[in-house]
Structure 1
Amino acid sequence: MDLLTKTAESLWQVIAVGLLLGAGLPALFAVGLRLIGTADPGTAAPGTAVVGARSRLAVVAGWACFAIVVIAIVTGILFIMADFLDHTFGIDLF
Protein backbone atom coordinates (compact mmCIF):
# COMPACT_ATOMS: atom_id res chain seq x y z
CA MET A 1 0.00 0.00 0.00
CA ASP A 2 1.15 3.46 -0.67
CA LEU A 3 1.21 6.26 1.87
CA LEU A 4 -2.00 7.89 0.65
CA THR A 5 -3.99 4.68 1.01
CA LYS A 6 -2.66 4.06 4.54
CA THR A 7 -3.44 7.64 5.52
CA ALA A 8 -6.99 7.43 4.15
CA GLU A 9 -7.58 4.11 5.93
CA SER A 10 -6.31 5.52 9.22
CA LEU A 11 -8.41 8.64 8.78
CA TRP A 12 -11.60 6.63 8.38
CA GLN A 13 -10.78 4.61 11.49
CA VAL A 14 -10.27 7.78 13.51
CA ILE A 15 -13.52 9.26 12.19
CA ALA A 16 -15.47 6.09 12.97
CA VAL A 17 -14.15 5.85 16.53
CA GLY A 18 -14.69 9.57 17.03
CA LEU A 19 -18.30 9.34 15.92
CA LEU A 20 -18.91 6.25 18.01
CA LEU A 21 -17.41 7.60 21.21
CA GLY A 22 -17.87 11.32 20.67
CA ALA A 23 -21.48 11.24 19.56
CA GLY A 24 -22.61 7.69 20.24
CA LEU A 25 -22.06 7.57 24.00
CA PRO A 26 -23.77 10.91 24.71
CA ALA A 27 -26.63 9.85 22.45
CA LEU A 28 -26.92 6.53 24.29
CA PHE A 29 -26.96 8.41 27.59
CA ALA A 30 -29.74 10.66 26.27
CA VAL A 31 -31.73 7.61 25.17
CA GLY A 32 -31.32 6.17 28.66
CA LEU A 33 -32.61 9.38 30.22
CA ARG A 34 -35.55 9.42 27.84
CA LEU A 35 -36.42 5.81 28.57
CA ILE A 36 -36.32 6.29 32.32
CA GLY A 37 -38.30 9.52 32.14
CA THR A 38 -40.95 8.17 29.79
CA ALA A 39 -44.37 7.59 31.29
CA ASP A 40 -47.03 5.37 29.78
CA PRO A 41 -50.00 7.66 29.03
CA GLY A 42 -52.31 4.71 28.50
CA THR A 43 -52.55 4.04 32.25
CA ALA A 44 -53.95 7.44 33.23
CA ALA A 45 -57.39 8.90 32.70
CA PRO A 46 -57.67 11.45 29.90
CA GLY A 47 -56.82 14.96 31.04
CA THR A 48 -54.89 13.88 34.13
CA ALA A 49 -51.21 14.13 34.83
CA VAL A 50 -49.19 10.98 34.36
CA VAL A 51 -47.06 10.45 37.46
CA GLY A 52 -44.96 7.37 38.09
CA ALA A 53 -46.54 5.23 35.39
CA ARG A 54 -43.44 3.89 33.66
CA SER A 55 -42.96 0.67 31.81
CA ARG A 56 -40.61 -1.72 33.56
CA LEU A 57 -39.06 -2.62 30.23
CA ALA A 58 -38.30 1.06 29.54
CA VAL A 59 -36.67 1.48 32.94
CA VAL A 60 -34.55 -1.66 32.49
CA ALA A 61 -33.53 -0.53 28.99
CA GLY A 62 -32.64 2.92 30.35
CA TRP A 63 -30.43 1.44 33.06
CA ALA A 64 -28.82 -0.83 30.46
CA CYS A 65 -27.93 2.26 28.43
CA PHE A 66 -26.35 3.83 31.52
CA ALA A 67 -24.42 0.63 32.23
CA ILE A 68 -22.99 0.59 28.70
CA VAL A 69 -21.88 4.22 29.05
CA VAL A 70 -20.23 3.55 32.44
CA ILE A 71 -18.45 0.44 31.10
CA ALA A 72 -17.14 2.45 28.13
CA ILE A 73 -15.87 5.20 30.42
CA VAL A 74 -14.14 2.78 32.81
CA THR A 75 -12.61 0.88 29.88
CA GLY A 76 -11.29 4.15 28.43
CA ILE A 77 -9.74 5.14 31.74
CA LEU A 78 -8.14 1.71 32.15
CA PHE A 79 -6.85 1.87 28.55
CA ILE A 80 -5.20 5.20 29.31
CA MET A 81 -3.75 3.83 32.56
CA ALA A 82 -2.56 0.52 31.06
CA ASP A 83 1.16 1.38 31.01
CA PHE A 84 1.03 2.82 34.53
CA LEU A 85 -0.76 -0.25 35.90
CA ASP A 86 1.68 -2.59 34.14
CA HIS A 87 4.77 -0.70 35.27
CA THR A 88 3.67 -0.01 38.86
CA PHE A 89 1.63 -3.07 39.82
CA GLY A 90 2.45 -5.61 37.11
CA ILE A 91 -1.18 -5.70 35.93
CA ASP A 92 -1.40 -6.25 32.16
CA LEU A 93 -4.97 -5.50 31.06
CA PHE A 94 -4.71 -4.99 27.33
Structure 2
Amino acid sequence: MNNLTLALDGAWKVLLVSLLLGAGLPALFAVGVRSTAMGVGGDAEVDHARPHPIGRYLADLCFLVVLTGVALGITIVVASGFGKAVSF
Protein backbone atom coordinates (compact mmCIF):
# COMPACT_ATOMS: atom_id res chain seq x y z
CA MET A 1 0.00 0.00 0.00
CA ASN A 2 2.90 2.32 0.70
CA ASN A 3 4.22 1.85 -2.86
CA LEU A 4 0.87 2.88 -4.31
CA THR A 5 0.82 6.02 -2.19
CA LEU A 6 4.33 6.96 -3.29
CA ALA A 7 3.47 6.32 -6.95
CA LEU A 8 0.32 8.44 -6.80
CA ASP A 9 2.18 11.19 -4.96
CA GLY A 10 4.71 11.41 -7.77
CA ALA A 11 2.10 11.02 -10.50
CA TRP A 12 0.06 14.09 -9.55
CA LYS A 13 3.23 16.20 -9.50
CA VAL A 14 4.17 15.02 -12.99
CA LEU A 15 0.61 15.66 -14.18
CA LEU A 16 0.61 19.18 -12.78
CA VAL A 17 3.94 20.12 -14.36
CA SER A 18 3.01 18.55 -17.69
CA LEU A 19 -0.26 20.49 -17.80
CA LEU A 20 1.47 23.70 -16.86
CA LEU A 21 4.38 23.42 -19.29
CA GLY A 22 2.94 21.10 -21.92
CA ALA A 23 -0.34 22.90 -22.43
CA GLY A 24 0.08 26.13 -20.51
CA LEU A 25 3.02 27.66 -22.38
CA PRO A 26 1.61 27.01 -25.87
CA ALA A 27 -1.76 28.40 -24.75
CA LEU A 28 -0.05 31.48 -23.34
CA PHE A 29 1.82 31.90 -26.61
CA ALA A 30 -1.49 31.75 -28.49
CA VAL A 31 -2.91 34.44 -26.20
CA GLY A 32 0.17 36.54 -26.99
CA VAL A 33 -0.33 36.16 -30.74
CA ARG A 34 -4.00 37.11 -30.42
CA SER A 35 -3.09 40.09 -28.25
CA THR A 36 -0.57 41.22 -30.85
CA ALA A 37 -3.33 41.29 -33.46
CA MET A 38 -5.52 43.25 -31.07
CA GLY A 39 -2.65 45.67 -30.37
CA VAL A 40 -1.94 46.27 -34.07
CA GLY A 41 -5.55 46.54 -35.20
CA GLY A 42 -6.48 47.35 -38.79
CA ASP A 43 -5.88 44.48 -41.23
CA ALA A 44 -4.66 42.18 -38.43
CA GLU A 45 -8.23 42.04 -37.09
CA VAL A 46 -11.23 40.53 -38.86
CA ASP A 47 -13.41 43.54 -38.09
CA HIS A 48 -10.62 46.08 -38.87
CA ALA A 49 -10.85 47.56 -35.39
CA ARG A 50 -8.65 50.36 -34.09
CA PRO A 51 -5.43 49.37 -32.27
CA HIS A 52 -5.64 48.78 -28.52
CA PRO A 53 -2.46 49.66 -26.62
CA ILE A 54 -3.32 47.17 -23.87
CA GLY A 55 -3.11 44.38 -26.45
CA ARG A 56 0.52 45.18 -27.15
CA TYR A 57 1.40 45.20 -23.44
CA LEU A 58 -0.43 41.94 -22.84
CA ALA A 59 1.34 40.34 -25.81
CA ASP A 60 4.74 41.47 -24.51
CA LEU A 61 3.96 40.04 -21.08
CA CYS A 62 2.81 36.70 -22.54
CA PHE A 63 5.90 36.38 -24.73
CA LEU A 64 8.16 37.31 -21.80
CA VAL A 65 6.67 34.54 -19.64
CA VAL A 66 7.00 32.00 -22.47
CA LEU A 67 10.62 32.97 -23.16
CA THR A 68 11.42 32.76 -19.45
CA GLY A 69 9.96 29.25 -19.32
CA VAL A 70 11.94 28.15 -22.36
CA ALA A 71 15.17 29.67 -21.01
CA LEU A 72 14.63 27.98 -17.65
CA GLY A 73 14.04 24.64 -19.34
CA ILE A 74 17.20 24.94 -21.43
CA THR A 75 19.15 25.94 -18.32
CA ILE A 76 17.98 22.86 -16.43
CA VAL A 77 18.83 20.54 -19.34
CA VAL A 78 22.30 22.03 -19.84
CA ALA A 79 23.04 22.07 -16.11
CA SER A 80 22.07 18.43 -15.74
CA GLY A 81 24.31 17.61 -18.70
CA PHE A 82 27.24 19.12 -16.83
CA GLY A 83 26.34 17.17 -13.70
CA LYS A 84 24.95 20.17 -11.83
CA ALA A 85 21.56 20.54 -10.19
CA VAL A 86 19.24 23.52 -10.46
CA SER A 87 17.13 24.07 -7.36
CA PHE A 88 14.73 26.71 -6.22
Stretches of structure 1 that go unaligned for 5 or more consecutive residues are 41-48, 87-91
Deviations 1:18-77 (A, max 9, x none): 11101000000000000110238xxxxxxxx627x3211111111110010000000000
Q: TM-score, normalised by structure 2?
A: 0.78
The answer on 1:68 being equivalent to 2:79 is: no
RMSD: 2.3
Instruction: State TM-score, norm by structure 1.
Output: 0.74
- Identity between Structure 1 and Structure 2 (%): 35
Query: Larger radius of gyration, structure 1 or 2?
Result: 1
* CA displacement at 1:85 relative to structure 2: 7.5
Provide the C-alpha distance between the structure 2 equivalents of 1:70 and 1:85, rounded to a whole number of angstroms: 24
2:75 maps to a residue whose letter is L
Greater percentage in helix: 2
Unaligned stretches of 5+ in structure 2?
Answer: none
1: CA distance between counterparts of 2:83 and 2:86? 8
